[in-house]
């Protein structure tokens, strides 16, 4: 596995391998878990070679958020990626990605303030800026993202379309623990009691899916049922529960087309997100 630390190294490597077929790319912030590895495997199946980046992007954290605490395990991550047969690992420094005086941002207006964008202002501007930079540096043919960050996925798809980026975006299913909890690097913050309570997010979505399956199409009633499941777990504090159009992220009043039920909640101080598709 070749490891590059700078954009110049990455570009030089890409120039020499230009004839090497389709390059699949998995951007990550490290602290890799089974969800990330499922993206790497999908990239390996669909592409000729695979690049992964590990960069904890300060621009997508607000000052009061967990940037300093965010789990970092570079040596373990490197070993896991090597075992998965990854060809190229990009591990830039903050100065490499944001040279002193950086003042250019990529923002998808109208989407970046929806779902997590409401409670984390500026978060998606940080995500789209770093993903745009990574796409320029890595120059992948396709890039793989997990569906857990459904808003991130919709926003990145829009950015790629609007800016004519020659990158195919591939969405991969959420990977879950046995009790339904969606895999997340932030799950490592949970103590035993919080870990027990955390699957309430998934249960709330399953409840919505069940009511939907039973014929309920009124979004407010479906949301009410989901919120009820969350409030039955006292150590989980709801941030939002919404049913939205998966492309525009606009809330629906009637679920008369494919939709996304999305939840964000705090378990202790850890903010977790999850979603399930409603077929419409």
Secondary structure, 3-state, 178-206: CCCCECCHHHHHCCHHHHHHCCHHHHHHH
Q: How far is the CB of 171 from ligand PAF (least distance, A)?
A: 12
* CA distances to 24, 84, 160, 276 from 17, in Å: 13, 20, 24, 39
Q: Is 181 in the site for ligand PAF (CB under 6 A)?
A: no
- Nearest residue (CB) to ligand PAF, 130 versus 260: 130
Closest CB 226 distance from ligand PAF, rounded Å = 24
Among 87, 96, 149, 274, binds ligand PAF (CB under 6 A): 149
What DSSP string describes 1-70?
Answer: -EEE-SHHHHHHHHHHTTTS-PEEEEEE-SS--HHHHHHHHHHHHHSSEEEEEE---GGGS-TTSSTTTS
Q: Which two tokens stand for residue 189?
A: 């913050």
Q: In the set 28, 187, 204, 275, which binds ligand PAF (CB under 6 A)?
A: 28
Q: By CB under 6 A, tell whether 272 contacts ligand PAF.
A: no
Nearer to ligand PAF, 57 or 147 (CB): 57
Provide the mask over 116-145, with x wherever binding to ligand PAF is found by CB under 6 A and - wherever it is not. -----------x--xx--------------
Q: How many CB atoms lie within 10 A of CB 48?
A: 13
Q: Is the dihedral of CA 130, 134, 140, 144 positive or negative?
A: negative
The question of whether 64 is a catalytic residue gets the answer no
Of 13, 33, 36, 64, the active-site residue reads: 36
Known catalytic residues are: 36
Residues lying near ligand PAF in the complex (CB under 6 A): 27-29, 57, 60, 127, 130-131, 149, 152
């Amino acid at each position: 596995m070749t490891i590059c630390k700078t954009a110049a190294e990455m570009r030089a490597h890409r120039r020499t391998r230009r004839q090497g077929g389709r390059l699949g790319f998995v951007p990550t912030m490290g602290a890799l878990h089974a969800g990330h590895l499922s993206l790497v495997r999908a990239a390996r199946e669909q592409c000729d070679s695979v690049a992964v980046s590990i960069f904890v992007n300060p621009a997508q954290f607000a000052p009061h958020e967990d940037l300093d605490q965010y789990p970092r395990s570079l040596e373990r991550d490197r070993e896991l990626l090597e075992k998965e047969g990854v060809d190229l690992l990009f591990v830039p420094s903050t100065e490499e990605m944001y040279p002193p005086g950086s003042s250019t941002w990529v923002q998808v207006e109208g989407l970046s303030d929806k779902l997590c964008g409401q409670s984390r202002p500026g978060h998606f501007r940080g995500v789209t800026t770093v993903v745009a930079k990574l796409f320029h540096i890595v120059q992948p043919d396709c890039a793989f993202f997990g569906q857990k960050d459904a808003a991130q996925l919709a926003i990145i798809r829009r950015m790629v379309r609007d800016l004519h980026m020659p990158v195919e975006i591939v969405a991969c299913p959420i990977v879950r623990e046995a009790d339904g909890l969606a895999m997340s690097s932030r799950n490592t913050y949970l103590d035993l009691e919080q870990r027990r309570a955390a699957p309430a997010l998934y249960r709330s979505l399953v409840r919505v899916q069940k009511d939907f399956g039973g014929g309920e199409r009124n979004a407010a009633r479906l949301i009410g049922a989901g919120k009820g499941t969350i409030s039955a777990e006292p150590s989980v504090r709801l941030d939002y529960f919404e049913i939205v159009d998966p492309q525009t992220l606009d809330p629906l009043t009637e679920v008369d087309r494919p939709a996304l039920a999305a939840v964000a909640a705090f378990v202790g101080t850890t903010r977790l997100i999850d979603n399930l598709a409603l077929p419409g």
